[in-house]
Structure 1
Amino acid sequence: DGTKALATVTLGDDSGITFATFDQLLPQLEVPNVTSQFAGGSVVGISFSTTLESDLVRSEAIAIPIVLVLLIIIFGGVTAAAVPVFVGILSILSALAILRALTSFTEVNSFSLNVASLLGLGLAIDYGLFIVSRFREEMREGAEPADAAIRTVLTAGRTVIFSGLLLICAFAGMLVFPQPVVKSLGFGAMAAVFGAAVLSLTAVPALLAILGHRINSLTWSKTASDRSDARAQKFWGGVVTRVMRKPGVVAAVIIAALLVLSAPILTVTLGQVDYTALPKDDPARIAVETLNTEFPSTGEGATVVLRGLDGQKPQGSPIADVTRQADDVDGIARVEFSGSANDFVVLEATYGEPGEGETEEQSTSAAVAELRQMTPPDGTEILVGGDRALVDDGNAAIAKWLPAMIAIMVISTLILLFLAFGSIVLPFKAVLMAGLSLGATFGVLTWIFQEGHGAELLGITPAPLEATFVVLILAVVFGLSTDYEVFLMSRMVEARTAGATTEEAVIVGAQRTGRIVTAAALILIIVTGAFTISDLSIMRFLGVGMILALIIDATIIRMLLVPSLVKLMGEANWWAPAWMKKVHAKVGIGH
């Protein structure tokens, strides 16, 4: 309409401008008396980084005070509650320091910092909860502070070590992917787990030994925690007792419900992060949307690179040949010369309107695939890029390497759980429970974030699930699921070893772990919830996914489904081939 103009800015090789300093360039590009908007990959990337930084500070400021209040209620005192929170803060600093060191060897994505902070804070406080609870228990039984700290490390400390190993094995599976961003998220998660575990095994026992009996100072009721624990044991014992009266019905109903929740996965589609993950009022997002609306000729397209294999830039007929081939591809509206340099020529192939009954994603993906099938002129090669090509290539890489990741997680978990329990049945059951938890979690995520149910409430734009964060959630949920399984099953195995029947072992396990597992899950939910209050839809996706998984796993699966299945399977729970029993007797790590 004559009121808007578009200018493309290309940085020279000698500009000295980097991603870190790019935002300093933008004010210099503004024109007096003209409203300027800036779009492009670098501008969107800067918006992501800036938003992530502000989210991190806000999330920690919200989570830490709320968790401290919850711990005061759990422990009945301020001093005991302050120890896990203090170590949680140290864990954040530790994880960030590890990531800073990793930048010397590998790429570290901005999202990794928030993921490391989320997991570092949540896990360190959870681990601190276990350690402090066991220390106070030892003190109540008459142990001196130094001895109580040692016994705590030998008991609850082993739980922390085992938990850390399970989670690190889950996140290690992310390192098989070729994409640097996936590896970066894996490194961030592993840094968080490592820092949380090490600090919980060193700083927490040291603090407890120094505090000694003062761990119970600033307590309004010295019996509050004991009374709360007794009530929790009575509650969870009653729940499990009722579950085991009709274990078949309970198991069937819960499994059916989880499968129903999993159903939306059948229609799931994967995508990659783009500008739509930014808030709707973000200047970079507004600029991109303005560009797409006001200058449709710059709309999304494929970048076709024609490269000379002899080191020379293609000229004349090869360019015309490729242009003609690209123009004949279904879904391509036009092909234009874009530029050239060194030994290559760049063509821009703009997408047309999707065909009848075809989505935009289907149309553009088919066009990219057909462009890649073009016959290169003699002495040249054809490369096809662009946003859709990046998404398709990313999804293809995820699909290719996902089985390897799952294999690493499952095999390492089976081995660790066998070494802990000496049964081959319990590890497989734990993996199946994790699978049900994952299915239900991703089903609900698909229903919300892809299909758009509740999208307005969460302030999101319905879109395909971001593939990289799907991988991260898979690792987190699998790791936490098997982690909580260990807390419950270890107590069952302990009771079983002491001579209890299978039914008695189930009740003891639920009584002893129901409160601690629920409290640990609640702490992680609070921490995750604080990080979910983000301006980025992708962080909300991660947060909602973790919260759903924690609710499903720590209550429905862990305290209802697992006891019912253990009851149904009876003595078969403890079975393993004779030769494996011998192996466990020699190398089992116990728990």
Structure 2
Amino acid sequence: MFANWGSLAYRRRWVVLIATVVLAVAGGIWGLGVFDRLSQGGYDAPASESARANQVAEDAFGRQGGDVVVVYDTVDPARLQQIAGKLAELPEDAVLRVQPPIPSPEAGKSLVAITLRGSDSNTHVKQYEQIADRLAVDGVTQQVGGLVPTQQAINDMSSSDLAKAEAVSLPIVLVLLVIIFGGLVAASLPVVVGGLAIMGSLGVLHAISLGAEVNSFAVNVASLLGLGMAIDYGLFMVGRFREELAAGRGTEDAVRRTVMSAGRTVVFSATLLVIALSGLLLFPHGFLKSLSYGGMSAVAIAALVSVTLLPALLGVLGHRVDKLAVPWRKDRGGPSEAGWRRLASRVMKRPVLFVLPIVAVLLALGAPFLGVKFGEVTEKVLPEGNSARVAAETIDRDFPALASGGLKIVVTGDPSPADVQAFATGVGDVAGVGETRIAAEPKDGVWLLTADLEHDQLSDESKQALRDVRALAGPGTSEVLVGGSTAVVSDSLDAIRDKLPWMVLLLVGATFALMFLAFGSILLPIKAVVVSALSLSATFGVLVWVFQEGHGADLLGVTPAPLESGIVVLMAAMVFGLSTDYEVFLMSRMVEARGRGATTEEAVSAGLAKTGRVITAAALLLIVVTGAFAFSQITMMRFVGVGMILALALDATVVRMLLVPAVLKLLGNAAWWAPGPLRRIQERMAIHEDVPAEDEKVPARV
């Protein structure tokens, strides 16, 4: 199949080239409309008890709390009357309710909560933009915070950081590609693929946003993976094409063989990564689904462009792919491959001396993850000094009763006032719960209670208090729903915990099945999963040590805090997917050599010699692309950037270049074994094509 496609891509190269570019560019132009449809929400579990509590309370009493919170630096009655008058002039189509100023004489400040009229986060941001410039009062200093201003600040900074990251990383990537390929023409091809992949993924995200919620971070993920994977795939394809040309083959044959070998590996690798990212769809959170949309579309389009546009473009260029070569360019092959062969030989001479220390170090690096704590997206993801974060810190300090969050308890079923009061007393007696009060007059048989928490809302004590309150018997036959910030985070974590085993099963099952069909071995897929798990645990251990425990946090400019669970799940999918990505690149060449009769040692040496330089170069380029996010102002994106740097550096060097060859040496011939019945199934369903011998020489022709 891939050989036939390679031949067709060459024969119809101009049609394929023009069609791919037109579709990608048109999709990108239309995709710009997604920026007006991006959401800022989706972090909670929509079917959870806390979500139902919020919905019942909203249906009965209207939306509670303030979307925008303004702290004015005055408690003077005349000034407060002036503030109230000013806020009363806010447009009714944007503002549902303005709470009267709440003074704090001790702090000399007053707080006003504004509830916006919209029903979703995207509408809230637009309504806030309508009133943002109308909150100031002459002669009074104010600070603006709350959920919506915080969301807008995160969105604005993430968009700005994305533009800066691409502006910085692209020139560096191009320079590195010129050094790697030794010529400007060859170096520009992966960048072209990356640009088209990003444009195409924007079009897909816009289409998805017409029927589903798409969080703004989906664009960041699409840009990161679209550019990064396109460069990886382009590097692999162009490198193989030049290798075929150097072997004396003509352009058509080189294109066909490139698609048949490297193209198949790219599609296979992208399929594994798409499946890994599809695991995010198992979770009910709109945020995780959005990240899945962005990641899957970017990776799929990067692979699609790599096996359509790139073969056609290579067919047009032929030997001109080496044009504009740099003066210091060296001949390909020889010394570089010899160095990787020597490394493989050294590792396989003493495999145990490599396996044991590497596994021990990876496990030690992963140990801090055993103490991981999960939280939510708060103003702390913003840099210190940001106005929304400063306002939140002011509220926490000067209005602690309003900032504590607490529990929001909804009682339905029209219970008697006496029963509700007795229930409220029981809630107040729960350890860790402070004052409990009836927050509003009952309406339509629904009561609303609030309960203060004596500890931080995300502490273990508060989470236990939540569980204890939920365990209380309701008044009479009434149904009790407990919501609030602590409940939202706890329910979100529970939803992730419930679905996580299914995601792991999907990743492991898909990896095993596809790698078995591709390589015809039972132990190779098992080894791939175990090695990827070691790399993943080491990465997360270091991230917990820095971002949660605070070691080196000052150097990174982040505030230590519990990790946002959604970002951790995203990182797990991406790191596992990329680990198997490099595994496929490496093993595909080893299996090719093995298929031509090489011993295990010879196959490992050949595979490392052919892909060692490509894998390390691909990892370096992806580190530059993703590492640019390590300088983001948003902690979540900085977490992703640092995590990707760690994961790629570990995986592409220590794991793939040292651990994998050592393990294969220990496994010996068993590495390639499969039971007879499974072997026959694999031979019937195999997703590989025989590649002629590497040293087969044919007359060069164009």
Q: TM-score range with shorter-chain normalisation?
A: over 0.9
Structure 1, residues 483-531: CA drift from partner, whole Å, max 9, x if none? 1111111111111121111111111111111000001111110001112
Which residue in the other structure is 1:364 paired with?
Answer: 462
Report the equivalent of 1:275: 379
Deviations 1:243-283 (A, max 9, x none): 11111111111111111111112211222221111111111
Matched, 1:165 2:267: no
Instruction: Provide, for residues 404-443 of structure 1, a one-character-per-residue CA deviation record: whole Å limited to 9, x for no partner.
Output: 0000000011000000111101111111111111111111
TM value normalised by structure 1: 0.94
**Aligned residue type for 1:10:** T
2:295 aligned residue: 189
Q: Distance in 2 between matches of 1:233 and 1:554?
A: 17
Alignment match, 1:320: 421
Q: Deviations over 1:350-380 (max 9, x none)?
A: 11147xxxx9611111111122122222353
Alignment check: 8 A CA contact 1:302 1:384 kept: no
Alignment-derived partner of residue 391 in structure 1 = 489
* Cα pair 1:305 1:344 within 8 Å, conserved: no
Amino acid at match of 2:436: V
> SS at 1:210's partner residue?
helix
Q: How far did residue 26 of structure 1 move?
A: 2.0
Distance between the aligned counterparts of 2:600 and 2:242, measured in 1? 29
Describe the SS at the equivalent of 1:20: helix
Q: State yes or no: 1:332 paired with 2:433.
A: yes
2:160 to 54, 79, 89: 54
- How far apart in 2 are the matches of 1:103 and 1:263? 40
**For the pair shown, which has the larger CA radius of gyration, 1 or 2?**
2
Q: In the alignment, which residue of structure 2 is the partner of 1:491?
A: 589
**CA distances 1:44-78 after superposition (whole Å, capped 9, x unpaired):** 11111111110111111011100000000011111
Which residue is 2:97 aligned to? Answer: none
* 3-state SS in 2 of match to 1:248: helix
CA distance in 2, matches of 1:307, 1:239: 69
In 2, Cα distance between equivalents of 1:14 and 1:50: 21
Amino acid at match of 2:610: R
For the residue of structure 1 that corresponds to 2:108, the secondary structure is coil
Q: 2:633 aligns with which of 535, 541, 555?
A: 535
- 1:520 and 2:618 equivalent? yes
Query: Which residue matches 2:446?
Result: 344
User: Corresponding residue for 1:299?
Assistant: 403
Other structure's SS at 1:429 match: helix
Matched position secondary structure for 2:346: helix
Contact 2:531 2:655 (C-alpha < 8 Å) held by counterparts: yes
Task: Say how many residue pairs are matched.
Answer: 582
The residue aligned with 2:363 is 259
Say yes or no: does 1:509 pair with 2:607: yes
Q: Which runs of 5+ in 2 are unaligned?
A: 1-105, 690-702
The answer for the alignment partner of 2:114 in structure 1 is 9
Could you say if the C-alpha distance between residues 553 and 534 of structure 1 is closer, same or farther in structure 2, counting changes exceeding 3 Å? Answer: same
Task: Output the amino acid matched with 2:219.
Answer: L
- The residue that corresponds to 1:149 in the other structure is 255
Question: Paired residue for 2:137?
Answer: 31
Residue 430 of structure 1 pairs with residue 523 of structure 2: no
C-alpha deviation, 1:576, in angstroms = 0.8
Could you tell me the TM-score, scaled by structure 2's length? 0.80
- State the match for 1:231 in structure 2: 335
Seq. identity, %:
47
Partner Cα separation in structure 1 for residue 444 and residue 623 of structure 2:
54
Report the Cα distance in structure 2 between the residues aligned to 1:70 and 1:353, rounded to whole angstroms.
52
Taking the aligned partners of 1:470 and 1:203, their CA distance within structure 2 comes to 34
Aligned partners of 2:650 and 2:552: how far apart in 1? 19
Deviates more, 1:187-196 or 1:267-276: 267-276
Contact 1:264/1:447 (<8 A) preserved: yes
**1:13 Cα shift?**
6.5
Where does residue 88 of structure 1 map in the other structure? Answer: 194
Residue-by-residue CA offset, 1:213-233 (whole Å, 9 max, x unaligned) = 322211124x82534x43321
Q: Mean alpha-carbon deviation: is it higher for 144-153 or for 278-287?
A: 144-153
Name whichever of 487-496 and 66-75 sits farther off: 487-496
User: Which secondary structure does the structure 2 equivalent of 1:433 belong to?
Assistant: helix
Q: Is 1:289 the equivalent of 2:393? A: yes
Instruction: For residues 317-355 of structure 1, give each alpha carbon's deviation from its aligned partner in whole angstroms, at most 9, with x where no partner exists.
Output: 24323321221121122123333555533222111147x
2:681 partner SS: helix
Q: What CA distance in whole angstroms lies between the structure 2 residues aligned with 1:13 and 1:565?
A: 58
Deviation at 1:304, TM superposition (A): 2.4
CA–CA separation in structure 2 for the residues paired with 1:118 and 1:574: 35
2:420 counterpart letter in structure 1: I
How far the C-alpha of 1:299 sits from its partner, in A, is: 2.6
**CA–CA distance in 1 between the matches of 2:482 and 2:119?**
27
Distance in 1, Cα, partners of 2:330 & 2:199: 31
Contact 1:306 1:380 in 2 (8 A): no
Match of 1:549 in 2: 647
2:299 is matched by which residue type in structure 1? V
Please say which of residues 393-402 and 408-417 is displaced more in the overlay: 393-402
Q: Distance in 2 between matches of 1:493 and 1:148?
A: 20
Structure 1 residues 13 and 469, CA gap change in structure 2 (3 angstroms) = closer
Tell me, in whole angstroms, the C-alpha distance in 2 between the residues paired with 1:298 and 1:103.
35
Residues 202 and 278 of structure 1: CA distance in aligned 2, closer, same or farther (over 3 Å): same
- 1:587 is displaced (CA, Å) by 0.9
SS in 1 for 2:439: strand
User: Aligned with 1:10: secondary structure?
Assistant: strand
The CA deviation at 1:146 is 4.0
Provide the C-alpha distance between the structure 2 equivalents of 1:519 and 1:343, rounded to a whole number of angstroms: 66
2:203 equivalent to 1:97: yes
The question of whether the paired residues in 2 share the 8 Å contact of 1:23 and 1:46 is answered with no
From 444, 455, 458, the counterpart of 2:553: 455
How far apart, in 2, do the equivalents of 1:315 and 1:199 lie? 66
Flag the 1:342–1:27 CA change in 2: closer, same or farther, 3 A.
farther
Question: What letter corresponds to residue 346 of structure 1 in structure 2?
Answer: L
Cα 1:57–1:230 change in 2 (3 A) is same
Contact 1:250 1:564 survives alignment (8 Å):
yes
Separation (CA, whole Å) in 2 of partners of 1:13 and 1:207: 49
Cα RMSD, aligned residues only: 2.0
In structure 1, the gaps of 5 or more residues are: none
Corresponding letter in the other structure for 1:44: T
Once the two structures are overlaid, the 10-residue window that deviates more, 71-80 or 105-114, is 105-114
1:209 and 2:315 equivalent?
A: yes
Determine which of 121, 131, 155 is the counterpart of 2:237.
131
Confirm or deny that 1:250 pairs with 2:354: yes
Q: Which amino acid aligns with 1:329?
A: V
1:453 CA displacement: 0.6
Partner of 2:314, secondary structure, is helix
Which has the higher mean CA deviation after the structures are superposed, 284-293 or 390-399? 390-399
Q: Give the aligned partner of residue 400 of structure 1.
A: 498
- CA–CA distance in structure 2, aligned partners of residues 353 and 548 of structure 1: 35
Note closer, same or farther for the CA distance 1:431–1:12 as it changes in structure 2 (3 Å cut).
closer
Deviations 1:182-236 (A, max 9, x none): 1111121111111111111112122222223322211124x82534x43321221
Letter in 1 for 2:197: S
For 2:380 and 2:214, locate their aligned partners in 1 and report how far apart those are by CA, in whole Å.
Answer: 23
- Shift of the alpha carbon at 1:535? 0.3
Q: CA deviation at 1:142?
A: 3.8
* Alpha-carbon distance in structure 2 between the residues aligned to 1:14 and 1:76: 55
Do the aligned partners of residues 376 and 44 (structure 1) sit closer, same or farther apart at CA in structure 2, a change above 3 Å counting? same
